[in-house]
Amino acid sequence: MNSRRDLTVQPTTLVRCMRYSHISQLCQLLDPDQAWKHMTDYITKPNGQPKYNFDTICMLEMEVQRPNGSPTRKLIEDWSTQNTTVKDLLDVLVKSKLYRAANFISVDVLKGDKIEENEIILYDKNDSVGSLPCPGPTESSNLGHLNIELGSVQSSSDSNNFSNDNSNSGSIRVHRLDHSSFGGPAENSEGKNLARCPSENDSSPYLASEEVNQMISLKNDVENGKGLDVEQATDPYCSQETVLVGAENEEKKDTQAAGDDMSSLIQDIVEGLEHGDSVKHFEYSKLKLITGNFNRTAVSEKGNFLGQGGFGEVYLGKPDSIHLIAVKRLMDRVDTVMKQFKTELQVLSKYRHKNLLPLLGYSSDGPQFCIVFEYMPNGSVEDRLACKENTPPLSVEQRLEIVKGTARGIVFLHTFDEKPLIHRDIKSANILLDCNMVPKVGDFGFARTGSANPASMKMTTTVIGTSAYMAPEAVKFDISIKLDTFSYGVVLLELLSGLPPFDEEREEKDLASYVDENYSSENALELADRTAGEWPESVFNSLFSTAVNCLNYKKKLRPTMQEVLQEIEDL
């Protein structure tokens, strides 16, 4: 196994790849007397501007009020989203004159020389550690400061957004703890908001002519069955110009236009459920009607709201007493959502498999785009593992079928076409369960084609994914099928342990780090979720070994999902 514990830390090693125990030791050195605050004077954004201001520092201070909270840990986690290296960390510690912490990094972590006061750190071609008396101000390092402030999105969670400054830049900052949605208006390069609010005389949502052409192109692509290519699958954050749909016009629409006769809608749904080979266009007004005007009362309280993701909300549609559908209504920012909408449609219209979420159709004639799926009555694997709504724990047998079915779905994505389709956001929340508990992989908005060569990679300019499931190379914008392997390994650990992928109360907050630090093949069975029933020891140990292999920090040493499926198919 090649885990975080097995890695030799070099100056160029990313801080997010350091051992949890190393970060914990730094916290013990820097939390007392708020020594970490000195670091904020020397940490900059990729453009050289100060990264932290008074408000964000105050937010960091509040971490001490949380159970096991550490301002130092939160600072390092936030800073590490800039691809911060160990050298960057050491540079800042020396500039901040935090020599005890600097020597911990230099001597204990990097196995180098002790740093005396007024020294700077130099590295030769072999990244060995040396020192030189400091003649003056040190030059800041550019290592690892890759720009990820792209796009026009910002975190919706103020409590986790430590990188906010008081400017209205409209940029995205990828946060380790942010697993939620995004929001906020986009701006152009001059800082002008590009949203257009409809006037009182407007009778329909505003769309730029370019967006109208895109919608026509989308309709033609979907109806002609065109597949996904690399250019079409660009990341949804890359554009900075946004034209907003006038959402307030939605209420002005006459909901009676759908009429009382839903027979044609029901017929389309039945055809989709029975045949699964055609993609229907649904009228927005009818989807609005069968979701109770997109009623946000939870389904558990006899409403229609099923949940919310990064790009939209999901509602239960009830065209009659027999047929149920799920309607995903996307956000109303046309330029960014258009790419995600188009990608998901193209993937689901082309890739049909027992273990992929069935697509019934879409809607593009209303103020917001919608995607229509078959309803999955047993919800997500994440919710079932958490026993939400007082549901019973998943049994060992059910978990084994989820393990196998999910792997089959991912393998299909990787092998169906000449070039593999990389999901890029495999997680338990995106694996849904039908009435027979058959797993269906969904949420393909970030999917992208890769190279036909398993050893090769594609490059992107935006970090995509959920941090607890994210492979180490993802922050280097490296895209390959091994991203999905790593994420699957985390899901496998969830199914084996019943533990959440991320837990603020846990010392090692993400599940992969927690298992890496506390379990091995010798004591693996102690990790087993006993609420599932009795695990056969050989089966559990085999799955644990597979999960460990999937989570290898070295991408080349991770198995492909085809190899994973071969290992687990006969269990």
Which amino acids are annotated catalytic? 425
Q: CA-to-CA distance for 335 and 99, rounded, in angstroms?
A: 49
The token duo for 221 is 């692509």
At residue 509, the 3 state secondary structure works out as coil
At residue 187, the 3 state secondary structure works out as strand
Quick check: 102 and 118 in contact, CB under 8 A? no
- Tell me the H-state helices in 143-234: 209-223
- DSSP 8-state class, residue 35: G
Helix (H) or strand (E) holding 183: strand 182-183
Q: CA-to-CA distance for 477 and 462, rounded, in angstroms?
A: 7
Residue 554: CB atoms within 10 Å: 13
The token duo for 144 is 């690892």
Quick check: 71 and 32 in contact, CB under 8 A? no
- Residue 166 backbone dihedrals phi, psi, to 5 degrees: -90, 0
Q: Please tell me whether 252 is known to bind a ligand.
A: no
- Lookup result for tokens 């301002």: 71
- Buried b or exposed e, range 217-239, using 16+ CB within 10 angstroms: ebeebbeeeebbeeeebbbbbeb
Nearest to 466 by CA among 408, 512, 520: 512
154-155 vs 182-183, strand pairing mode? antiparallel
Quick check: 20 and 4 in contact, CB under 8 A? yes
The token duo for 377 is 């009555």
Nearest to 466 by CA among 500, 424, 503, 499: 424
Interhelix angle 511-518/20-30, rounded to 10 degrees, is 100
Interhelix angle 396-415/482-497, rounded to 10 degrees, is 170
- Known binding positions: 339
- Known binding positions for ATP: 339
